[in-house]
């Protein structure tokens, strides 16, 4: 059986969902006055494979959801499996014998104000009205049909008869800067104590259900409104610099789940070549003071007569191979044609990315085309790579020139970042990547061993996970016995095929 969903997994799904909503809000045009862009529905759809507790509906507690948990969007309740009907207030399940049981109700508080105080509830007792009639306002005086004792209403009655708990989620509406904001708090388990029917102002039948909170759960006063404003997820810094001072900016390790940090490798910011590998540096260009004129620069000529980088050092377009200026060139380190060879310039963090293991993000926005980092590790032959027991950090080079390959089987190389590596070793795969692995040569001319430089493919928002396409093919990886190997992908993007290979 699958492992039970943890509270951390729930928080991670919520965090990812909220980040996706924010990204969509930024990216999509404002739909105009009075219209709402349902980024929540879109984000939930994009993250369909990150929904939790998707099996049979549970009666009672839901794995990973704790009393006091706060939800910002109604659809979040569906995504974590606490309340699976998107609009309706009463969620219920059908048993194999056709009977029904209530699982969860969402009390928005404003339907029942005639019954118990303002907001429709005191702390432990909740009066809830049945479903049906006028769907817009089932308990108001606009009910235009009798409510029926079937479906959700019957389910609440059955839960009462069988003394089974019903989850209660309370909705609160607050106003902030003229916008109405709804938030939802999981208030724990209740028992249905009694039910009765009343006649609405129009004379139609309305059901009422009284629920009482089961004692022994954390007090509501502890978890109510004060928790509504809390940050959705708190990351702690568990290592101030995973590069131990090697990189220009410290690379913090952030963990919202526990206090573990990456171990078992040595941080190195430069490729480690085998001792027998001694390529010579390429001939340089004669530009003085910087390579401004592509027509006059021998390195630009190697790039087909133009520079791959703009004056600000951003990659203008991806290419099979980019030649940067090198050690024999006359230009200074600030030359625009040296954009990726002098190390990481953006601020990066390693963070606990849940099912994907560690991941990498930046606390700052990264502009499209900006250099992020190199994939650094030990340069080994492919033959040697085949013998390594840990294949999680292998990056085959020299084969990805968009058609032509620079090597044949026995002369190909792989970068292994398992034992020695830089921050690049923590960057995950995505089926909808925001980074591109660009082949770059500068300190030698050996096309079999290009540097793998990761550049931003588009503007990347702060805290968005950085990821590139590992470029495997589904059913394209076999073990030494020829058996197909499978690796599942949890990138969570809408393009995700579900498999890395």
CB of 478 to ligand SAM, least distance (A): 16
Q: Which of 335, 431 has the CB closer to ligand SAM?
A: 431
CB of 492 to ligand SAM, least distance (A): 8
CB of 418 to ligand SAM, least distance (A): 9
User: How many Å apart are CA 130 and CA 247, to the nearest integer?
Assistant: 62
User: How many Å apart are CA 67 and CA 393, to the nearest integer?
Assistant: 40
Q: Which of 207, 501 has the CB closer to ligand SAM?
A: 501
Strands 378-381 and 465-468: unpaired
First to last CA, the chain: 24
Give me 473's structure tokens.
Answer: 């093919």
Q: Which of 302, 425 has the CB closer to ligand SAM?
A: 425
In 162-293, alpha helices (H): 220-223, 225-228
CB of 310 to ligand SAM, least distance (A): 29
Give me 7's structure tokens.
Answer: 């509270």
Residue whose tokens read 């102002």: 201
For residue 39, report the phi and psi dihedrals to the nearest 5 degrees.
Answer: -60, -25
DSSP at 296: G
Q: Which of 65, 489 has the CB closer to ligand SAM?
A: 489
Sequence-ordered list of residues with C-beta below 8 angstroms from that of 473, at least 6 positions apart, any chain: 501
Structural Rg of the chain based on CA atoms: 29
Give me 42's structure tokens.
Answer: 């879109």
Q: Which of 207, 426 has the CB closer to ligand SAM?
A: 426
Q: Which of 425, 444 has the CB closer to ligand SAM?
A: 425
The CA-CA-CA angle for residues 303, 307, 313, to 5°, reads 135
Please, are residues 457 and 434 in contact by the beta-carbon 8 Å criterion?
yes
Residues of the shown chain interacting with ligand SAM in the complex, contacts defined by CB under 6 A: 356-358, 392-393, 425-426, 428-430, 489-491, 500
CB of 123 to ligand SAM, least distance (A): 43
Closest residue to ligand SAM in the complex (CB):
357
Q: Which of 192, 379 has the CB closer to ligand SAM?
A: 379
CB of 50 to ligand SAM, least distance (A): 11
Please, are residues 202 and 47 in contact by the beta-carbon 8 Å criterion?
no
CB of 63 to ligand SAM, least distance (A): 21
């Amino acid at each position: 059986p699958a492992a039970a969903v943890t509270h951390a997994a729930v928080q991670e799904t919520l965090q990812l969902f909220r980040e996706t909503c924010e990204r969509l809000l930024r990216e999509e045009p404002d739909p105009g006055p009075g219209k709402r862009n349902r980024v929540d529905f879109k984000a939930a759809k994009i993250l369909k494979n990150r929904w939790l507790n998707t099996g049979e509906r549970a009666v009672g507690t839901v794995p990973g959801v704790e009393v006091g948990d706060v939800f910002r969007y109604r659809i979040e309740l569906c995504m974590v499996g606490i309340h699976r009907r998107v609009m309706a207030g009463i969620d219920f399940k059908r048993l194999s014998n056709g009977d029904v049981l209530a699982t969860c109700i969402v009390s928005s508080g404003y339907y029942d104000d005639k019954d118990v105080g303002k907001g429709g509830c005191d702390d432990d007792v909740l009066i809830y009205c049945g479903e049906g009639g006028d769907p817009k306002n089932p308990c108001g005086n606009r009910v235009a049909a009798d409510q029926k004792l079937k479906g959700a209403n019957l389910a609440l009655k059955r839960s009462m008869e069988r003394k089974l708990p019903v989850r209660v989620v309370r909705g609160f509406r607050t106003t902030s800067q003229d916008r109405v904001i709804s938030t939802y708090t999981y208030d724990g388990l209740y028992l249905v104590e009694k039910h009765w029917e009343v006649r609405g102002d129009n004379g139609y039948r309305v059901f009422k259900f009284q629920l009482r909170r089961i004692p022994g759960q954390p007090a509501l006063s502890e978890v109510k409104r004060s928790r509504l404003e809390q940050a959705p997820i708190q990351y702690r810094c568990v290592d101030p610099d995973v590069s131990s001072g090697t990189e220009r900016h410290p690379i913090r390790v952030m963990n919202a789940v526990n206090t573990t940090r990456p171990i078992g490798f040595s941080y190195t910011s430069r490729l480690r070549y085998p001792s027998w590998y001694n390529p010579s540096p390429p001939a340089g260009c004669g530009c003085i003071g910087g390579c401004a004129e592509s027509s006059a620069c021998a390195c630009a000529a190697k790039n087909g007569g133009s520079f791959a980088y703009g004056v600000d050092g951003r990659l203008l377009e991806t290419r099979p191979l980019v030649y940067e200026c090198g050690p024999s060139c006359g230009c200074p380190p600030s030359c625009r044609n040296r954009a990726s060879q002098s190390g990481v310039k953006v601020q990066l963090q390693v963070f606990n990315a849940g099912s994907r293991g560690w991941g990498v993000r930046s606390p700052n926005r990264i502009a499209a085309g900006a250099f992020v980092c190199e994939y650094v590790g030990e340069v080994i032959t492919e033959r040697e790579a085949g013998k390594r027991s840990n294949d999680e950090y292998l990056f085959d080079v020299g084969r990805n020139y968009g058609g032509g390959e620079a090597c044949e089987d026995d002369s190909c190389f792989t970068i292994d970042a398992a034992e020695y590596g830089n921050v690049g070793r923590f960057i995950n795969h995505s089926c909808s990547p925001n980074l591109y692995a660009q082949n770059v040569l500068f300190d030698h001319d050996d096309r079999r061993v290009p540097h793998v430089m990761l550049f931003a493919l588009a503007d990347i928002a702060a805290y968005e996970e950085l990821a590139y396409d590992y470029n495997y093919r589904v059913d394209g990886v076999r073990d030494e016995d020829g058996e197909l190997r499978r690796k599942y992908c949890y990138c969570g993007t809408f393009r995700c095929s579900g498999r890395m290979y």
